[in-house]
Amino acid sequence: MSKKILIIEDEEDVRTYLVTLLQKEGYETVTASDGVQGLEVAKREVPDLITLDLQMPKDTGTDFYRKMHRDDRLGQIPIIVISGIPGRHLAVKKPIAVFEKPIDKDRLVEVIKEAIG
């Protein structure tokens, strides 16, 4: 069974790019366009890893992160922060990696494979 990755990203072109990249690598993907939807999808799907944009409408990535850690089933899921704003990742404690846009796709895949296989 393939590992499942939740992509939380408000920019549709970035979301589509990540879905295509990760599916080519054999991962199952589910997506959300903001933190509110991301929390709903995370609770329903319980992914193996989450990529998280921080600057989004409705709930920011930071809001999502705080709410996620209140749920015992979700609190241990590894997070990769992806942000177009340098330094924003400091609002999220202990991400396994931080990527600024544009994303280094080879490094992203490498980090994911190290984290979840």
Q: What is the pLDDT of residue 93?
A: 66
User: Residue 30: beta bridge partners?
Assistant: 6
Q: What is the mean pLDDT of the chain?
A: 90
45: left (phi over 0), alpha (psi -120 to 50) or beta: alpha
Q: How far is CA 19 from CA 14, 42, 58, in A?
A: 9, 16, 22
For the stretch 29-57, what's the b/e string if a residue is b when 16 or more beta carbons lie within 10 angstroms of its beta carbon? bbbbbbbbbbbebbeeeebbbbbbbbebe
End-to-end Cα spacing for the chain? 12
Tell me: pLDDT of 97 over 80.
yes
Q: What is the CATH number of the domain that holds 34?
A: 3.40.50.2300
- As a whole number, mean pLDDT of residues 70-98 equals 79
- As a whole number, mean pLDDT of residues 57-78 equals 88
Distance separating alpha carbons of residues 38 and 28, to the nearest angstrom: 16
Tell me: pLDDT of 58 over 90.
no
10 Å Cβ neighbour count for 90? 12
Domain boundaries, position 68 = 4-116
Stated pTM of the model:
0.92
The structural domain count of the chain equals 1
